[in-house]
């Protein structure tokens, strides 16, 4: 079994689009897809939103649900629409992903191959491939993305002019760290091109878990 992790430095930079694109381009791997969402204080993981009902007093620190809708209206539904065999949405409170990991490990063990949208999952597993999506037009840089940036096998970078984008000022030394990684430049709405697909295919073929 191969495991790919797709991360990103902020929201809405195209992580889900990259996952869906790889699922569609590499359908022979029969993917099980996972999306991991971590919420701040006051959000019920089971409901995925602020909740004032009785469950607010319960210990709903994490929840996992299987996506069955193939309309493409939600992120996990997009995974199924792209061709994933199964799709799971994992929701946890910030800092409590460890509590969901036994269930995630079990779901992974039941998968032929898996692709996971997350940064923080890297605290608990070592994937065959980790790609991170960065957009210089978005100034926010999540701590989890910064923590694991040096583990990225490659960076999928939105094709802006980094040098002239004032929004990257908050990235600091991360700009230098980015330049030291293998970079694939993309122009949305095309998030996964043939170069990326070929790179992933070659990495999977050389991974220890790949059948000979």
The 10s digit of each residue's pLDDT in 67-87 is 999 999 999 999 999 999 999
pLDDT score recorded for residue 144: 87
Mean pLDDT of 193-204: 97
pLDDT score recorded for residue 159: 87
Domain ranges for the chain, please list them: 3-36+67-206
- Residue 160: pLDDT band (50, 70, 90) is confident
DSSP class of residue 95?
Answer: T
pLDDT score recorded for residue 155: 95
Q: What percent of the chain has pLDDT over 90?
A: 69
Architecture of domain 3-36+67-206: 3-Layer(aba) Sandwich (3.40)
For 59, residues 6+ apart whose C-beta sits below 8 A from its C-beta are none
The 10s digit of each residue's pLDDT in 94-149 is 899 999 999 999 999 999 999 999 999 999 999 999 999 999 888 888 888 889 99
Distance CA 181, CA 176 (A): 9
pLDDT score recorded for residue 170: 61
Distance CA 102, CA 54 (A): 26
């Amino acid at each position: 079994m191969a495991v790919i992790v797709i991360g990103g430095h902020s929201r809405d930079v195209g992580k889900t689009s990259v996952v869906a694109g790889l699922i569609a381009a590499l359908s022979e791997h029969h993917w099980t897809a996972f999306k991991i969402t971590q919420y701040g204080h006051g959000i019920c993981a089971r409901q995925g939103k602020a909740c004032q009902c009785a469950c607010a007093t319960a210990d709903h620190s994490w929840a996992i649900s299987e996506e069955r809708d193939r309309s493409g209206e939600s992120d996990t539904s997009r995974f199924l629409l792209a061709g994933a065999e199964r799709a799971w949405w994992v929701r946890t409170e910030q800092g409590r992903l460890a509590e969901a990991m036994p269930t995630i490990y079990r779901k992974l063990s039941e998968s032929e191959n898996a692709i996971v949208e997350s940064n923080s999952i890297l605290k608990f597993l070592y994937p065959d491939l980790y790609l991170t999506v960065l957009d210089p037009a978005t100034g926010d840089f999540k701590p989890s993305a910064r923590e694991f940036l040096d583990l990225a096998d490659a960076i999928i970078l939105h094709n802006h002019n980094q040098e002239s984008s004032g929004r990257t000022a908050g990235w600091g030394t991360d700009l230098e760290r980015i330049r030291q990684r293998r970079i694939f430049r993309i122009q949305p709405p095309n998030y996964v091109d043939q170069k990326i697909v070929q790179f992933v295919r070659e990495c999977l073929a050389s991974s220890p878990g790949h059948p000979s």
